[in-house]
Structure 1
Amino acid sequence: MNAQVALITGASSGIGAEAARRMRAKGYIVYGVARRAERLATLTSDGIRTFEMDVTDDESMASGVKRVIDEVGRIDVLVNSAGYGSLGSVEEIPLDDGRHQFEVNVFGPMRLTQLVVPHMRDQHFGRIINISSLGGKIYSPLTAYYNGSKHALEAMSDCLRFELAQFGIDVVVVEPGGTQSEWGSIAAAHVEKNSGRGPYARQAHAMAKGLAAQGGQGQEYAPASVVADIIVRASTAKKPKTRYAVGSSTKAAIVLRRLLSDRAFDAMLSRTTGVPRT
Structure 2
Amino acid sequence: MTKVAIITGISSGMGHAAALYFHQNGFEVYGGARRVEKLQDLKDAGIHTQKLDVTDKLSLRELVDRTVAEQGRIDVLVNNAGYGEYGPLEEIPVENARKQFDVNLFGVDQLTQLVIPVMRRQKSGRIVNISSIGGDMYTPLGGWYHATKAGLNMWSDVLDQEVRQFGIRSVIVQPGGTKSEWSHVAVDNARKNLADNSPYGPLVDRLDKLLSNSFFGATSEDLAKVFYKAATDKRPKRRYFNALSDHAIVTFARTMPNSYKFLISKIMK
TM interval, shorter chain, is over 0.9
Tell me the secondary structure at the aligned position of residue 193 of structure 2: helix
CA deviation profile, 1:125-162 (whole Å, cap 9, x unmatched)? 00000000011112221111100000111110000000
What is the aligned partner in structure 1 of residue 261 from structure 2? 266
What is the aligned partner in structure 2 of residue 140 from structure 1? 139
Distance verdict in 2 for CA 1:243–1:208, change over 3 Å = same
The unaligned stretches of length 5 or more in structure 2 are none
Tell me the distance in 2 between the aligned counterparts of 1:261 and 1:55. 33
Number of residue pairs the alignment of both structures matches: 268
TM-score by length of 1: 0.92
2:208 maps to a residue whose letter is A
What does 1:77-96 correspond to in 2, within 5 Å?
77-96=76-95
What is the aligned partner in structure 1 of residue 69 from structure 2? 70
> Is the 1:133–1:150 contact (alpha carbons within 8 Å) kept by the matching residues of 2?
yes
1:56 maps to a residue whose letter is T
Task: Report the more deviating stretch, 153-162 or 205-214.
Answer: 205-214
2:183 maps to a residue whose letter is G
The percent of aligned pairs where both chains have the same amino acid is 44
Query: Per-residue deviation at 1:226?
Result: 1.1
- Which of 234, 238, 261 is residue 230 of structure 2 equivalent to? 234
**Alignment pair present for 1:207 and 2:213:** no
Tell me the secondary structure at the aligned position of residue 138 of structure 2: coil
> Is the 1:33–1:53 contact (alpha carbons within 8 Å) kept by the matching residues of 2?
yes
Distance verdict in 2 for CA 1:83–1:261, change over 3 Å = closer
CA-based RMSD: 1.4
2:69 maps to a residue whose letter is D
**Alignment pair present for 1:120 and 2:119:** yes
Query: Per-residue deviation at 1:119?
Result: 0.4
Tell me the distance in 2 between the aligned counterparts of 1:10 and 1:239. 26
TM-score by length of 2: 0.95
Moved segments of 4+, more than 4 Å: none
> Is the 1:187–1:208 contact (alpha carbons within 8 Å) kept by the matching residues of 2?
no
Tell me the distance in 1 between the aligned counterparts of 2:107 and 2:140. 25
Task: Report the more deviating stretch, 220-229 or 193-202.
Answer: 193-202
What does 1:41-52 correspond to in 2, within 5 Å?
41-52=40-51
Tell me the secondary structure at the aligned position of residue 207 of structure 1: helix
> Is the 2:19–2:29 contact (alpha carbons within 8 Å) kept by the matching residues of 1?
yes
Query: Per-residue deviation at 1:213?
Result: 4.9
The unaligned stretches of length 5 or more in structure 1 are none
Task: Report the more deviating stretch, 221-230 or 203-212.
Answer: 203-212
What does 1:142-181 correspond to in 2, within 5 Å?
142-181=141-180
> Is the 2:7–2:15 contact (alpha carbons within 8 Å) kept by the matching residues of 1?
yes
> Is the 2:137–2:254 contact (alpha carbons within 8 Å) kept by the matching residues of 1?
no
